[in-house]
């Protein structure tokens, strides 16, 4: 089984458009939306949920009023101002660090697990999908990404599917690391802007650190052909495969507004044709090596 993560240094570079299009072209792949902080693949693939599971990724302090001596030490020690003046724990402010439980002289505080999100196994028109949603204000998205990937892997094994397509979260933080570890290749989607080039370099460093084969795709390459050329020559110098250059087209946004992928909305467009070429190249590079 092969795993490909589609990633970008920041949001809005076309990563989700590409992942959704690949899931159509693949015909039989499990797609995993690992952008758990702001998932949007479901808006294009319209999954039908088959299974839902609670994600318990964090803890919250609970004060036993019968044991509490009302000394106020927990309120004094809490660095997150999560204990109110009437000695109640504010669920949003509590980080579950446990300092109050250690400080409490009456052993009145325990830490309990709390539900921080949901994970789903779903079916789309094009195959299976593993996805999730982290509740507002919750952290530990890296752990939820790992759960989404585990679910995708179990599904692929059970259904005898040989490819997992992962829509990674933007940036280079913990959830991105969780979405690239152990994958066969990482496709970085970038734009030919100065910030895009900077983000591309950071994403490539990350892939290099985790020994993941990098591919690069330049989206809206024609908005700045000089910067596009700089990216191409940088990749050539560093022996990184540029798998394609997608032209700018307002049809991509139109497709999204209509809740469709570009492959469905405008299959004959230059963008759709280029995505198909990119897909064939990626498959060849991943499965022929
Ligand atoms: S530290 Fe313990 S005993 Fe003191 S107010 Fe907090 S919960 Fe009550
Ligand atoms: S667990 Fe940490 S954040 Fe939560 S109330 Fe206790 S000290 Fe504050």
Which tens digits make up the pLDDT trace of 220-276?
999 999 999 999 999 999 999 999 999 999 999 999 999 999 999 999 999 999 999
Pair 76, 52: CB distance under 8 Å: no
**What H or E segment, with its residue span, contains residue 124?**
strand 117-124
Please report the pLDDT score of residue 113 as a whole number: 92
pLDDT in tens, 189-209: 999 988 888 889 999 999 999
Tell me which of 263 and 57 has the higher pLDDT: 263
Q: Which one of the ligands is nearest to 89 CA?
A: 2
What is the torsion angle, in degrees rounded to the nearest 10, for the CA atoms of residue 115, residue 16, residue 168 and residue 54? Answer: 20
Domains defined for the chain, CATH in brackets: 2-55+117-287 (3.40.50.300), 58-114 (3.30.70.20)
The mean pLDDT of the chain is: 93
Query: Residue 289 pLDDT > 70, yes or no?
Result: no
* Cα three-residue angle 119-286-174, rounded to 5 degrees: 40
Which atom in ligand 2 lies closest to the alpha carbon of residue 98?
1
Closest approach atom of ligand 1 to CA 63: 7
* Beta carbon of 96 within 6 Å of any ligand 2 atom: yes
CA neighbor of 252 nearest in space, from 177, 210, 166, 189: 189
Question: Is the per-residue pLDDT at 98 higher than 80?
Answer: yes
Q: Which residue, judged by its Cα, is nearest atom 8 of ligand 1?
A: 68
- Residue 175 confidence (pLDDT): 84
CA 96 to ligand 2 centroid distance, Å: 5
**Range with the lowest mean pLDDT among 14-28, 129-143, 173-187?**
129-143
Which residue, judged by its Cα, is nearest atom 6 of ligand 2?
100
Determine the atom of ligand 2 nearest the C-alpha atom of 89.
5
82 in ligand 2 pocket by Cβ < 6 Å? yes
- Name the residue with higher pLDDT: 169 or 199: 199
Residue 4 confidence (pLDDT): 97
């Amino acid at each position: 089984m092969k795993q490909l993560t589609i990633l970008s240094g920041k949001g809005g570079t076309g990563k989700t458009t590409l992942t959704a299009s690949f899931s159509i072209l693949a015909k039989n792949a499990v797609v995993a939306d690992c952008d758990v902080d702001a998932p949007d693949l479901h808006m294009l693939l319209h999954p039908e949920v088959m299974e839902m599971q609670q994600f318990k990724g964090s803890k919250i302090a609970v004060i036993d009023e019968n044991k509490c001596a009302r000394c106020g030490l927990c309120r004094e020690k809490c660095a997150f101002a999560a204990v109110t003046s009437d000695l109640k724990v504010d669920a949003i402010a509590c980080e579950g660090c446990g300092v109050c439980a250690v400080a409490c002289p009456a052993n009145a505080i325990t830490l309990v697990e709390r539900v921080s999100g949901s994970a789903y196994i779903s079916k789309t028109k094009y195959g299976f999908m593993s996805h999730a949603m982290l509740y507002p204000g919750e952290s530990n998205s890296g752990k939820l990404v790992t759960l989404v990937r585990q679910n995708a892997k179990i599904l692929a094994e059970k259904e005898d599917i040989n490819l997992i397509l992962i829509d990674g979260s933007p940036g280079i933080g913990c959830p991105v690391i969780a979405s690239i570890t152990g994958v066969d290749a990482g496709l970085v989607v970038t734009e030919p802007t100065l910030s895009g080039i900077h983000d591309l370099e950071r994403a490539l460093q990350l892939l290099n650190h985790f020994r993941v084969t990098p591919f690069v795709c330049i989206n809206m390459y024609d908005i700045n052909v000089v910067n596009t050329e700089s990216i191409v020559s940088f990749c050539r110098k560093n022996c990184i495969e540029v798998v394609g250059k997608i032209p700018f087209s307002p049809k991509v946004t139109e497709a999204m507004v209509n809740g469709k992928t570009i492959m469905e909305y405008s299959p004959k467009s230059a963008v759709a044709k280029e995505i198909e070429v990119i897909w064939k190249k990626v498959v060849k590079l991943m499965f022929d090596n």
